[in-house]
Amino acid sequence: MLSLVLVLVAGYLLGSVPSGVWVGALVAGRDVRSGGSGHSGATNTWRQAGLPAAVVVAVLDLAKGFAAGWIGQRLGASVWAPALATAAVVAGHCWPMLAGLRGGIGLAPLAGAMLAIAPLGALVGLGLAIASTLLLRHSARGNVLSGLLFGPVLWLLTGNAMPSLAAGAGGLVIAIRSMTDWRRVYRQLWLDRERPAPPRLR
């Protein structure tokens, strides 16, 4: 029981490191959450502080997810430990204690955790995220769909309970977080951004 508590706490604290907020402030001199989607992940960092800053943020977010997944496997004797670590690091990224509980969506930390637990899972998650976003043409709704499907699909593909539980737990946190943006139309994202009005005929 104590090991599961340690896994949860370690995962949340790792996730709470606000990479986007810190890198954005260092590079652009402002909070990346003040514009674009209002999130602190790599995509909005790209929009607010440029591609090099976004690459750094993506690497850091992947790294904290990887560290949490590794800890979940090493410290926890239960099959649930990696799942708890994954959910915790994603939750920490979404609601970071070190940045006023305003973070990102959690895709990069989830991918990092899956790389540590089961690299195939990271590829499956990426494929689901891309397919869902293209299907629904809205990033938040795509995140909800792919988050809910991640665990079951990985189970169907592998039959392995441990990574499937981790995928399901992390995906559920992302789905819950993304529901807050279900109806939102962004100004600066790929498929769900505002379109210019067609010219009026005279």
| pLDDT band for position 183 (cuts 50, 70, 90) | confident
Whether the model pTM is above 0.75: yes
Alpha-carbon distance 121 to 66, whole Å? 13
CA dihedral 181→141→8→18, nearest 10 degrees, is -50
What is the phi-psi region of residue 102: left when phi exceeds 0, alpha when psi lies from -120 to 50, beta otherwise?
A: beta
Report the pLDDT value the prediction gives residue 200, as an integer from 0 to 100.
62
Quote the pLDDT of residue 76.
64
pLDDT band at 160 (very low <50, low <70, confident <90, very high): very high
User: CA-CA-CA-CA torsion for 186, 45, 132, 59, nearest 10 degrees?
Assistant: -170
159 backbone φψ class: left, alpha, beta (φ>0; ψ -120 to 50): left
**Digit-coded pLDDT (tens) for 105-155:** 999 999 999 999 999 999 999 999 999 999 998 889 999 999 999 999 999
3 contacts 15 by C-beta, under 8 angstroms: no
Mean pLDDT estimate for the chain: 90
Please report which confidence band the pLDDT of residue 8 belongs to, taking 50, 70 and 90 as the band edges: very high
